[in-house]
Amino acid sequence: MKKVFLTWCVLLFTVIIFAQGNLSKSYYKAIDFANLAKVKTKVQSQDKRVIKAYNNLIGNCNANLKFPLVSVMDKKDIPPSGDKHDYMSLAPYWWPDPNTKGGLPYIRRDGDVNPEVNDYPDKDNMPKICQKVYELSLGFYFSGNEKYAKKATDMIRVWFLNPSTKMNPNLNFGQAIKGMDDGRGAGLIDTRHFIFFLDGVKLLKSSSSWTTSDDNALKNWFRSYYGWLNTSKNGKDEKNAGNNHGIWYDAQSLAITNYLDSLNESKLIIKRALGRLEKQMNAEGAFPAELARTNSLHYSSFVVSAFENVAQLSANIGVDFRNTKLSNGMSLQNAFDFLTPYLLSKKTWNWPNLKPFSVSNEYPLLLSASKHYNCTECIPFMNSNAADANQLILQLL
């Protein structure tokens, strides 16, 4: 009875998410541009296999036309630099210490989010900008409707390009911990959304709204940011992280170098990411650093998602990350082979899990497992758990 109840809860959650036309986390993945061109042909021919997903995408794009043009200047509090153009966020799992004056320094409660993070809207607004540019750009690509490209362009200009509102190309004050530091390397997890944002930007090339001047200015912004990633203390700390933070650093770095057409630099990042895979994954295909977390299933999926995004970004420049054998004979498939049975509920997860886990957030992994790792059960599982799998915008990607 309990299992039936949980199944219906998952189904109800999925119905609500897609009935509202929201862009859930399950939509995010690096784009396979070769496949996207094939899907566009299907959309143009009104292929029943993709048209519901396309209509859902267009519904979201129409809603996004009303989204306000937000910027880093919207926050009330000023970063330690005194410059509102600097991005700032608070570390989510750090709370006031009840045993110290003023609660300082804060103490860690892993997996438990301090609502104070909402006092710094940069962390909420920046992912929304990335998400909506991604979506609007897809809408423009499939429909040719210039209004979607214009809205995406306006959002990009306000957040990244206009002198009065643009974000400075650094994350000096990401995930600050009160009473301890003004910002940490861990804050760079916030900017993993740049991966999807830059995929969206690439789809704007044929737009009359997105000009060569815009593209050059954005490339200059990301050149500066990439320089900061590689030379700042926060950037170096994140680059050296031994858990999911390290590979998400590589994933966003690779997205940037791909966008900047820096092929040699991209290949160096891919080589580094393969080294991380070998070092972080054990003989079972699991990631011990993530199994130790209080939300271990989420973080185990999260780290595999980062590697899978690296794999797709690599494929986009002709490098086969997925099937590369490590010196121990393993590959990314071992990570999927370990994780997928748990996502499909064929095995019971026996590590810590503080919060409920929604497998719908991991549909991109199931889609990849189906396409690249011979998972014959993944698509049927999605079909049986989504209210109407043909509505999933993921079907377009």
Nearest to 344 by CA among 381, 379, 300: 381
Confidence band for 77, pLDDT divided at 50, 70 and 90 = confident
Confidence band for 391, pLDDT divided at 50, 70 and 90 = confident
Of 87-96, 178-187, 230-239, 378-387, the least confident: 378-387
**φ, ψ (nearest 5 deg) of residue 307:** -65, -40
Can you list the alpha helix ranges (DSSP code H) found in the chain? 2-19, 33-44, 51-64, 122-143, 146-156, 194-202, 212-231, 233-239, 244-259, 263-280, 288-291, 296-315, 332-343, 363-372, 378-385
Identify the pLDDT of residue 12.
30
Q: Where are the beta strands (DSSP E) in 82-222?
A: 88-90, 94-95, 107-108, 173-176
Whole-model pTM over 0.75: yes
How much is the average pLDDT of 113-138? 94
Report the DSSP beta bridge partners of residue 108. Answer: 94
Residue 6, pLDDT above cutoff 60: no
Of 27-31, 212-216, 374-378, the least confident: 27-31
How much is the average pLDDT of 296-314? 98
Are 23 and 131 a contacting pair, CB within 8 Å?
A: yes
Residue 1, pLDDT above cutoff 80: no
Query: Residue 329, class by beta-carbon neighbours within 10 Å (0-12 exposed, 13-18 middle, 19+ buried)?
Result: exposed
What angle is formed at CA 355 by the lines to CA 352 and CA 361, rounded to 5 degrees?
105
Identify the pLDDT of residue 384.
87
Nearest to 235 by CA among 290, 170, 149: 170
Higher pLDDT, 387 or 125: 125
Are 330 and 324 a contacting pair, CB within 8 Å?
A: no
Residue 136, CB-side half-sphere exposure with 13 Å CA sphere:
30
% pLDDT > 70, the chain: 92
Residue 160, pLDDT above cutoff 60: yes
Separation CA 259–CA 12 (nearest Å): 39
Separation CA 49–CA 394 (nearest Å): 12
Separation CA 151–CA 143 (nearest Å): 14
Nearest to 249 by CA among 303, 180, 198: 303
Confidence band for 390, pLDDT divided at 50, 70 and 90 = low
